[in-house]
Structure 1
Amino acid sequence: AAYAPGLFKIQILGRINFGYLFALSQFFVSWGLAMYYAHVANKDFDRLTRELVNELQ
């Protein structure tokens, strides 16, 4: 926002500007990444852990 203040002042809907949408989009991207990581972790890491435990027994 400091490098392109004009971009973040562009009005989108009424008083909603690009800066607000950009800030809110970070929450959705973070949630998406967290859900993807949880999916990969549950699929791959649990399998790897089971294999390691079986190998050590």
Structure 2
Amino acid sequence: METVLLVASVVVVLLSLAVFVAVFVLVSFVVVAAVSLVVVEATSFVLAVICLLAEVIMLLFC
């Protein structure tokens, strides 16, 4: 009986560990996706501002 309980407890620990790892991987993937999206948006915004400034400078000096 004790061996059955031991095996059951080991299985429960392994399952909880697997669930924890899966949740951790999912959360880290979501965080990485959100951060990369924010970085891409910020980069495109900065590029648009630089292009706008270049056009204004060209209009002023031409």
TM-score by length of 2: 0.50
Matches of 1:10 and 1:50 in 2, distance apart? 55
Equivalent of 1:19 in 10, 13, 18: 10
* Runs of at least 5 residues in structure 2 that lack an aligned partner in the other structure: 48-62
How far is 1:47 from its partner? 1.8
Counting helix residues as a fraction of each chain, which structure ranks higher?
2
Q: Pairwise CA RMSD of aligned residues?
A: 2.6
TM-score by length of 1: 0.52
Counting strand residues as a fraction of each chain, which structure ranks higher?
1
4+ runs deviating over 2 angstroms:
49-56
- Does structure 1 residue 48 correspond to structure 2 residue 39? yes
Q: Identity of paired residues, percent?
A: 9
* Runs of at least 5 residues in structure 1 that lack an aligned partner in the other structure: 1-8
Determine which structure has more spread, i.e. the larger CA radius of gyration.
2
